[in-house]
Amino acid sequence: MLRTNNGQKHGNKREMQTTKRKKRLYDQEPLCSNSLQADCTMKLQQIELHSDFWISLMTTPSDHKTAIRYHKKPALIDFGFILSGHLSHRIQDRDTENRIEGNSGLSGIGFFPDRKGIVEISGNRPVQIMHIHISPKRLYDMVCDDLEAMPLTFRHVLTGNSDDSYLSKSIMPPIIRSIAHEIFNDGFHGLPKKLFLESKALEILTRRLGQLIASHDTCHSINGLNLNETERIRNAREWLIRDLSSPPSLRDLENRFCLNRNKLQTGFHILYGNSVFGHLREHKMQTAHFLLGKADMNVSQVARSVGYENVSQFTKAFKKRFGVLPKQHRQSFMNT
């Protein structure tokens, strides 16, 4: 503290403002012409879970053309998910520039040390984008036991054996989209909010890394599945969940994709960590969880859409999976 000549205490205003300022992962600057100044409405939330573990949530309304320049100094691995809208992303990495065009449903894993870039939003429809940022060391500590299952280039990022950039893109599974919507719509505050967000971020990382490992397996025979078998099991999974109100039987899957029952069940456990109908049941629950957050569907309609003609059976299954009744879950969204 500083004292005036008459002995009265004065705080250093600049110092006080600095201590109150929230920590930020990005330095950002809107890029708008004077005619578009009113349209610079991009909202970016930066949520610190730990010093090397963050979530960022970006939203823009529809009919707003927006651009922003940013600089992210920490060398963190970025897991990105586009829930809606379209963006053009120019990433400046040392002496090179990577351009990524992204539409709704795209997910990616990127590592660009000391990253600078420009994000441009076309403005044709509202945008929702989520990123999970985590340090290579923290992620390495989580997955070190399964490191050999990772692609070699990604292993080098985790172990610090390479300063090169890394980028991997894929389609976002419905279950990850559902969890991401939970993060955008959480109603917690204080410590419960932080615990909720961290648990959901870890769940997404687990599933996205499982997806990365599975894609790596298509090029390498692992755990008894060759490339052809892996592809057929993936196709069987897509066929299984294409119509939740009328899914195929195990025999249908066996005949259609030329897989015996043992290979089918084993393949699902290897690629998705569950049996065939265990995976289907989880997919139904996650889809229902997402649909109940939409105001235009009631509990009975959601139950039927995921294959439950008996609403009481659906209610029992939903409560067993999520710990709340479907009606309570839907009401929590209506109240936010």
35 has pLDDT over 50: no
30 has pLDDT over 70: no
DSSP bridge partners of 132: 55, 79
63 has pLDDT over 70: no
Average pLDDT in the 31-45 region? Answer: 56
- In sequence order, the 6+-apart residues with CB closer than 8 A to the CB of 263 are 229, 233
Map tokens 């349209």 to a residue: 39
Structure tokens belonging to residue 11: 């705080």
Domains and CATH numbers, the chain: 23-216 (2.60.120.10), 225-334 (1.10.10.60)
Helix (H, G, I), strand (E, B) or coil at 170: strand
Q: What is the DSSP string of 198-237?
A: HHHHHHHHHHHHHHHHHHHHTTS-BTTB-HHHHHHHHHHH
| The predicted structure's pLDDT at residue 41 | 64
Average pLDDT in the 297-311 region? Answer: 92
* CA pair distance 68, 231, nearest whole angstrom: 40
Q: What is the pLDDT of residues 172-226, one digit of tens each?
A: 888 999 999 999 988 888 889 999 999 999 999 999 998 888 776 555 555 667 7
Structure tokens belonging to residue 76: 């963190």
* Average pLDDT of the chain, as a whole number: 81
Q: In what order do the strands lie in the sheet with 26-30?
A: 26-30, 66-72, 115-121, 86-93, 96-103
Share of the chain above pLDDT 70, in %: 82
